Structure 1
Amino acid sequence: MKLTNIMIGLFLGVGLISSCQSEIDEAKGYGYLQLSSIDVNKGVETRADITESEAIAVDILDESNAVVQHADDWRNLDDVILPVATYTIKAYSADKNMETQGFDAQPYYAGQKDVVIEANKAKNVNITCKLAQTMVSVNCSETFKSTFAGYTCYIEGADALSIPFVEDEARAAYVKAGQPLTVKVDFGNGKSFSQEITSKAEAAYHYKVNLDITEGNAGFDISVDQTIHQYDVTVKVPTKQESADMVTSDIKNDASKVWGQFAYLSGSCNLAEITSPVQFRYKKKADAEWTTIEAVQEEGTKNYSAKVAPLDFGTEYEYYILCGDKAGETCTFTTESYVEIPNLNFDTWSQNEKDWYPNADASNSYWSTGNEGVTLGGNSNSVGVSDSYSGLAAQLQTVEVTMFVFVKVKAAGNIFIGSYKTNAQDPASSVTFGRDYSGARPTKLSGYFKYQPGATMSDGSVPSEKLEKDECDIYIQLWSGGETIGEGHFITNETVSEYTHFEIPIEYTVTNKRPDKIAIVATSSRYGGYFDGMNVIGQLAIGSTLWVDDFELSYY
């Protein structure tokens, strides 16, 4: 089976009709565009051969992507005079829907090219329309058919795509390009086998899936023939699928099991007699060698699990459960990806007049402080200093500033991931903690600090008990959909004169969700952010100073 290319010839007319030529001569800022022909390349075929009657629509779009000319059939598009500019010519199947998937879908062709219209100049422009979808078919070997009975194969993809290929189904299906595709074999009785065949299906390619059997672990091989745009995908399904003695749990979509640099493998062993230790084997999908790890049995069950670490970020792994010569099916998972948090070492600072910022652009663009509020009545109290563990450090100091000539306001030194916009009438609303985050879930925040509590505690109603000394607070918080899923604090009131290492384990109260927002916060006075109007009601001490440096996130 081959895929069709449709050639559309678009060119600026060489022999322009006299009336149009006259118009061009009078308006030097215009050029002439003429659609001349469609050439169907009969040497390549899709499931349904394309003929000269294939309806191809054409759009001409200007630089703002607005359609300036359209024709449902390119042959009905009159000669076009266009102002000098760059245009995009799009050609596509006029009577088909690219969103339709399955056996009933029709091939959808599309192509485009930019063309520069120049005054009184003729050009030739060719557009190649190619298949915008992916083709996929499934073939089962005779040994597969004789080994397994009563099975159904499915091609699964994004948005709940599931196309059934019953036994001896010879047709190919069209699916949307760009999505992951998985072949699944349902054997009935709750038993099934799955194998991803591509993480991103290519347009204008045919994926021919060939199912065979193996006495060992699942096998997967893929080759490509660029001359006919075809992937030959061979999947070897273990014959052990007939038995439910060893079951590998599919953790691919379980956020509680798959993290950035570790995963919890799980499965069950239903053998009447277990003569060997139950183990898991795992490896990077791209590697050849397996790593074996002992499994731990859950008390009172036939379920087993094992934590594997360290793993690489954003990497696909394979694994299966094993007992003696009995093995479960091979499953896959992909670890969470790493996303860098900028300026964790606090070496980058910039200044705008009296305001200091822990970013390079003299704004609260990622990390923020309350400096813009403090400098209304004093100087920045959260600054970068050379008194550091390495490079620069953040020095955060609790101060008292005079606002509006006569109003004295206490302000804790702070640095945090989030945004700050001064609201002098309601200081508590000036701060918004956290920024969008799509990276792996960290398990620990560590770094270095010094702390000097201030000499005299102020009165305040928060907390309710009387504090003898001020307290600093360093913490991390992660959210998902507005819900806190993980958090950890480091709090002390001790005087620490030399840079000292700290570690904050992150406790996840929700493990089956991945974060969409993160905040890291450090403050010289733990209760400095509690306000009643403009008045700080948190107990604190003027002069309390916290130095922090070289923060680091760990992931296992």
Structure 2
Amino acid sequence: MKTNILVTSLFLLAGLFTSCQSEIDEAKGYGYLQLSSVDVNKSVTTRTDIAESEAIAVDILDESNAVVQHADDWRNLNDVLLRVATYTVKAYSADKDMETQGFDVLPYYEGQSSVLIEANKAKSVKVTCKLAQTMVSVNSSETFKSTFTGYTCYIEGADALSIPFVEGEERAAYVKADQTLTLKVDFGNGKSFSQQIASQAEAAYHYKVNLDITEGNAGFDISVDQTIHQYDVTVKVPTKQESADIVTDDIKIDASKVWGQFAYLSGTCNLEEVTSPVQFRYKKKADAEWITIDAVQEEGTKNYSAKVAPLDFGTEYEYYILCGDKTGETCTFTTELYEEIPNLNFDTWTKVEKGLFTKRDCWFPNGDQANSYWATGNDGVVTLKSSNSIPVQDGRSGYSVQLSTISITMVGYAAGNIFIGEYNTNMSNPASSVTFGRSYSGARPVKLSGWYKYAPGANMRDGGTIPADRTLTSDECEIYIKLWSGETLIGEGSFVDNKNVSEYTRFECPVEYIDPTKRPTKITIVATSSRYGGEFQGTSVVGQLAEGSTLWVDDFELSYY
């Protein structure tokens, strides 16, 4: 049945009142507007529970889109005198919210038109309002209902839209127009089927989705009746959600394939002939629009994979393999959570006075005057000398870290260092003063980067024995990262340099994972002015190093894809 469109008629009357005409004559550069009437008709068949009457508000907007005149009810908008300019007249439902979506939402109508106001002239404008939303409903055929039981259909869209159509639901829902809409059927056994039904849902149209079955591949037909503004969408769901020929691998518990901001999708295509490229489709579970990516075949097999990035931390995704026009089952995975490493920019420092005979500033790279997350060896050094791991302001924003190798009584040398872990001075066993690493359950980083400069000391010490396989001619700085699962090292990366670098230079330190099947429970990041400054024999440092070597570091950053 064809019905009418909601029409709001705004007229600039040609015959104005005599008193109004004299007002225009006195105010050159103005025109006059009078709202005539509003007729409410409907062209889209709405739900039977929708009221017939409509409350229509009107806004008159200037060229900067500012409202110069408003009426909650068009009938209360009296004669309007306007300066010469172009205006937009907008009419809309006064008592409804176009942003809400669902079964209980009421239809929202709107429309607009522009008009040029000329001096001492009367103009007329007509605004045609129509339904600004999209209607959608879902119906299942008898064969579908007899084949599948206990299922729930969802209409999914932008902004986490997910409207459930349980078995037997006959109502239509109102949703926002211009979004991608996807039908998802959840069969309740870990299997689901998804089909996009509109890439950009049209306003003032009713999408009637009809679910049916097919013994072959999924089918999708759509027809439109312009006379009643209705799309008939037929979705044919395979009775077998996955065959042995097309298999989507379930990766959700495989740590080697699911990371913080990327994942390796995988599947199998055992078809005798594949006439189209093998691909994967994936999306956030809360989204409606699928992303398609080409798959790469593993040599000598019928297995396929694809790396997808960047993804969002701690987010559930859906995906399936696509072989020509045949699809595998839809599977899900959830990316690793993000966990912040504090003070990676090294701008937070505190100090206290410590020392055995003389009080000195002992610097801590945390906000609580302790080695509470980041640590240094300052707590031991200040018993006899000034801190050798300190904050400095030397051209970069905020603070940088200056790490210096010094000579010191009892142990011989102390390299400047900063690390994630704990430091507790043990003079009888100096090597045990340091404990590297703190608890970490976040996403696995793939790279550590930042800024550094380095000045190796002028003269290498005599008597250093480590490393034993070569003799260093110049001191080496080192920056590294390690991750453990329990007590097992699962990933590490290191950056080493022995050149004089006088300007801040970016470094990159890729993380190589020894065991990508495990997730981390502990992490450390370390920077030191002398790579072998922590090598002890008894109470003495035996590493090859140079007094005076200085490393500056700043603005560390972890990357996750």
| TM superposition score normalised by structure 1 | 0.59
> Is the Cα contact below 8 Å between 1:463 and 1:539 reproduced in 2?
yes
Determine the structure 2 residue equivalent to 1:416. 419
> Is the Cα contact below 8 Å between 2:150 and 2:187 reproduced in 1?
no
Superposed, 1:91-102 pairs within 5 Å as none
Say which of 185, 191, 194 aligns to 1:193: 191
Partner-residue secondary structure (3-state), 1:432: strand
Cα distance in 2, alignment partners of residues 365 and 143 from structure 1: 65
1:461 and 2:459 are equivalent in the alignment: no
1:452 and 2:460 are equivalent in the alignment: no
Structure with higher Rg: it is 2
> Is the Cα contact below 8 Å between 1:217 and 1:329 reproduced in 2?
no
| 2:466 counterpart letter in structure 1 | V
Cα distance in 1, alignment partners of residues 240 and 279 from structure 2: 17
Cα distance in 2, alignment partners of residues 320 and 408 from structure 1: 61
Paired residue total: 347
Partner-residue secondary structure (3-state), 2:321: strand
Moved more, 451-460 or 489-498: 451-460
Partner-residue secondary structure (3-state), 1:429: helix
> Is the Cα contact below 8 Å between 1:213 and 1:239 reproduced in 2?
no
Cα distance in 1, alignment partners of residues 260 and 330 from structure 2: 21
Cα distance in 2, alignment partners of residues 503 and 435 from structure 1: 22
1:500 and 2:505 are equivalent in the alignment: yes
Q: Structure 1's 364 and 528: CA in aligned 2 closer, same or farther, altered over 3 A?
A: same
| 1:507 counterpart letter in structure 2 | E
1:375 and 2:362 are equivalent in the alignment: no
**1:431-456: CA deviations, max 9, x gaps?**
00000001100000000000000111
**1:451-494: CA deviations, max 9, x gaps?**
00011111211001211110000000000011111100000100
Determine the structure 1 residue equivalent to 2:484. 479
Determine the structure 2 residue equivalent to 1:528. 533
- CA drift at 1:271: 1.1
Superposed, 1:105-504 pairs within 5 Å as 143=143, 147=147, 185=189, 193=191, 238-241=238-241, 243-353=243-353, 354-402=361-409, 407=410, 409-458=412-461, 459-464=463-468, 465-504=470-509
Q: Structure 1's 514 and 183: CA in aligned 2 closer, same or farther, altered over 3 A?
A: farther
Partner-residue secondary structure (3-state), 2:380: helix
Q: Structure 1's 281 and 449: CA in aligned 2 closer, same or farther, altered over 3 A?
A: same
Q: Structure 1's 424 and 270: CA in aligned 2 closer, same or farther, altered over 3 A?
A: same
Partner-residue secondary structure (3-state), 1:241: coil
> Is the Cα contact below 8 Å between 1:443 and 1:553 reproduced in 2?
yes
| 1:370 counterpart letter in structure 2 | G
- CA drift at 1:238: 4.3
Cα distance in 1, alignment partners of residues 238 and 397 from structure 2: 56
Q: Structure 1's 482 and 237: CA in aligned 2 closer, same or farther, altered over 3 A?
A: farther
> Is the Cα contact below 8 Å between 1:446 and 1:501 reproduced in 2?
yes
Gaps in structure 1 of 5+ consecutive residues = 1-139, 154-181, 186-191, 196-211, 219-235
Cα distance in 2, alignment partners of residues 194 and 416 from structure 1: 47
Q: Structure 1's 360 and 324: CA in aligned 2 closer, same or farther, altered over 3 A?
A: same
> Is the Cα contact below 8 Å between 1:238 and 1:329 reproduced in 2?
no
> Is the Cα contact below 8 Å between 1:255 and 1:513 reproduced in 2?
yes
Q: Structure 1's 408 and 246: CA in aligned 2 closer, same or farther, altered over 3 A?
A: closer
> Is the Cα contact below 8 Å between 2:456 and 2:546 reproduced in 1?
yes
Q: Structure 1's 469 and 290: CA in aligned 2 closer, same or farther, altered over 3 A?
A: same
- CA drift at 1:387: 1.4
Cα distance in 2, alignment partners of residues 417 and 503 from structure 1: 18
Cα distance in 2, alignment partners of residues 183 and 427 from structure 1: 62
Gaps in structure 2 of 5+ consecutive residues = 1-139, 152-185, 194-210, 220-235, 354-360
Partner-residue secondary structure (3-state), 1:372: helix
Cα distance in 1, alignment partners of residues 459 and 536 from structure 2: 19
**1:7-61: CA deviations, max 9, x gaps?**
xxxxxxxxxxxxxxxxxxxxxxxxxxxxxxxxxxxxxxxxxxxxxxxxxxxxxxx
Cα distance in 1, alignment partners of residues 150 and 300 from structure 2: 35
Partner-residue secondary structure (3-state), 2:191: strand
> Is the Cα contact below 8 Å between 2:143 and 2:213 reproduced in 1?
no
**1:312-348: CA deviations, max 9, x gaps?**
1111111000122200010011100111100001111
- CA drift at 1:239: 2.4
Cα distance in 2, alignment partners of residues 266 and 369 from structure 1: 45
Cα distance in 2, alignment partners of residues 281 and 393 from structure 1: 45
Percent of paired sites with the same residue: 69
Cα distance in 2, alignment partners of residues 373 and 486 from structure 1: 30
**1:207-257: CA deviations, max 9, x gaps?**
xxxxx9766779xxxxxxxxxxxxxxxxx9742426322111000110000
**1:79-124: CA deviations, max 9, x gaps?**
xxxxxxxxxxxxxxxxxxxxxxxxxxxxxxxxxxxxxxxxxxxxxx
Cα distance in 1, alignment partners of residues 187 and 424 from structure 2: 52
Cα distance in 2, alignment partners of residues 366 and 144 from structure 1: 59
Q: Structure 1's 323 and 377: CA in aligned 2 closer, same or farther, altered over 3 A?
A: same
> Is the Cα contact below 8 Å between 1:193 and 1:237 reproduced in 2?
no
- CA drift at 1:376: 1.0
Q: Deviation above 6 Å: which 4+ runs of structure 1?
A: none
| 1:290 counterpart letter in structure 2 | W
> Is the Cα contact below 8 Å between 1:283 and 1:318 reproduced in 2?
yes
Moved more, 458-467 or 288-297: 458-467
